Amino acid sequence: MPTLYIGGRLFDGERSLDNHGLLEEGGRIKRIAPAGEFAGYSGPRVDTSGGTVLPGLIDCHIHSLLGAEGNPGLVQDRLTPAQLAVRGMEFMRATLEGGITAVRECGGKDYIEFALRDAYNAGRFLGPTMRCAGKLICMTGGHGNRTGRVADGVDDVIRAVREQVHAGSDLVKIMATGGVMTPGVNPEDAHYTAEEMRAGIAEAQRFHKTTASHAQGTEGILNAVRGGVTSIEHGIFMTDEAIGEMRTRGTWLVPTLAALVHILRGADAGDASIPPYVIEKSRRMAERHVASIKMYYEAGCKIAMGTDAGTPYNRHGDNALELEFMCDIGISPRDSLFFSTASAADLMRLSDHGRLKDGHIADLVITSGDPLSDIRMAARKENHRMVVKRGQIARDNRAAFDSALRVAAQ
């Protein structure tokens, strides 16, 4: 049976629509039209007055099996595959209830996350639409070697890509540089050579896969971009040269501001479980990260929202806070919403997600207020009235708002 969402504002992923209604039927958007055209509608309806209907938010960088502990890799190592799978389902349910209706999994463990993806995407359980990279590909001793596919040299990198394709990966992730969470590596160092990066990316493209590259240092960013990578993850040591080449090639940046924000908040709170080397690298890079993202944004280049959820204190279900972090550094509310809906869907090749359009999947977040005026309405899940996945209610928080209105009226 169709359901009409009407009374408030719509943000369709690119622009706002006032005095419009959205009719959902069978898990898809049947029609968006001026409110007057629904005057004769007598079926079920959701009153969105005083609120905003958004496309479901999309997180382009998560780790579904990591639990956001101070040292999440260590905790993961102690769990059985069955425990990881159950925990992953709990995390993905929290993610959905936090307003994130699609995710790009950028490195799991032993393909356990594929079972989650297949169950959610087939509709067997209610969860976010998932795209998975499988095993990230890294050099010997490189960032991510704990769970990744270690490969050295052009031939072995190509073989590693083929293994991910054979396993059923939706995208291929190649580690261009060192990173924060791996001991003994420097985030500024390029790990793979330009030739290795180019070969791995070309092999993924040959099998119609998009590519993502963990790339923090400048040389590694340039190696990945010149190799034709689809998206740069993190992009901490961006330069004008890198930005120019990314703009020319149409490369996306997935900033993941939340990752360092949460590590440093945990460190400042005195959490001794975060390894000291993680804190040291995070403090050293935090200001440079913000400066790079601002440079990239001001250059008008392509950005898609991502959080690195699962890293220390970067909890599944709180992903939408990334929108607030983006606005904190000068990104406009409209653009943070666009990066988290339409642009993110484009990066993930989800052609019928990320925008409120006739025929698209009915993934919706109904917020209180207007996120274009106050991004916290979208970024903080306590301000979400409802989350809808393929027309099904995933979270209904309307009673809390009704109670607040009653109290205010007394």
Rounded CA gap, 196 and 6, in Å? Answer: 53
Going by their DSSP bridges, the two strands 171-175 and 210-215 should be labelled as parallel
Helices (H), 53-193: 72-77, 81-97, 112-121, 153-167
Three-class SS string for 308-375?
A: CECECCCCCCCCCHHHHHHHHCCCCHHHHHHHCCHHHHHHCCCCCCCCCCCCCECCEEEEECCCCCCC
> Which of the four pLDDT bands, split at 50, 70 and 90, describes residue 401?
confident
Q: DSSP label at 230?
A: S
Residue 176 has, within 13 A of its CA and on its CB side, a CA count of: 35
| Amino acid symbol at 244 | G
- Tell me the C-alpha to C-alpha distance, in Å, between residue 396 and each of 95, 312, 340: 14, 28, 21
User: To 10 degrees, what angle do helices 276-298 and 257-268 make?
Assistant: 140
| Whole-number Å distance between alpha carbons of 246 and 228 | 9
Q: To the nearest whole number, what is the mean pLDDT of the chain?
A: 96
- Where b means 16+ CB within 10 Å and e means fewer, 80-105 reads eeeebbebbbebbbbbbbbbbbbbbb
Q: Which ranges in the chain are annotated with CATH 2.30.40.10?
A: 3-55+355-409
Q: Are 206 and 226 in contact (CB under 8 A)?
A: no
Q: Which among 209, 299, 259 is positioned nearest to 61, based on CA atoms?
A: 259
Q: Which CATH class is domain 3-55+355-409?
A: mainly beta
Q: Return the SS3 of 160.
A: helix
pLDDT at 408: 47
Res. 409: pLDDT tops 60: no
Average pLDDT in the 271-275 region?
93
Note whether 51 and 385 are within 8 A (CB): yes
Q: How confident is the model at residue 410 (pLDDT cuts 50, 70, 90)?
A: very low
Domain boundaries for CATH 3.20.20.140 within the chain: 57-319
pLDDT of residue 403: 56
CA angle (82, 92, 28) in 5-degree steps: 130
> Lowest mean pLDDT: which of 71-75, 268-272, 297-301, 333-337?
268-272
Sign of CA dihedral 156, 158, 159, 165: positive
Task: State how far the Cα of 7 lies from the Cα of 237, in Å rounded to an integer.
Answer: 45
pLDDT tens digits, one per residue of 77-132: 999 999 999 999 999 999 999 999 999 999 999 999 999 999 999 999 999 999 99
* Fold adopted by 57-319: TIM Barrel (3.20.20)
> Using an 8 Å Cβ cutoff, are 308 and 61 in contact?
yes
360 contacts: CB under 8 Å, gap ≥ 6: 28, 29, 352, 353
What share of the chain in percent tops pLDDT 70? Answer: 98
In the predicted model, what is the mean pLDDT of residues 220-234?
98
- The sign of the torsion formed by the CA atoms of 103, 105, 111, 113 equals negative
Residue 171: per-residue pLDDT? 98
Q: What is the pLDDT of residue 407?
A: 42
Q: Which two tokens mark 377? A: 């309405």
pTM of the model: 0.97
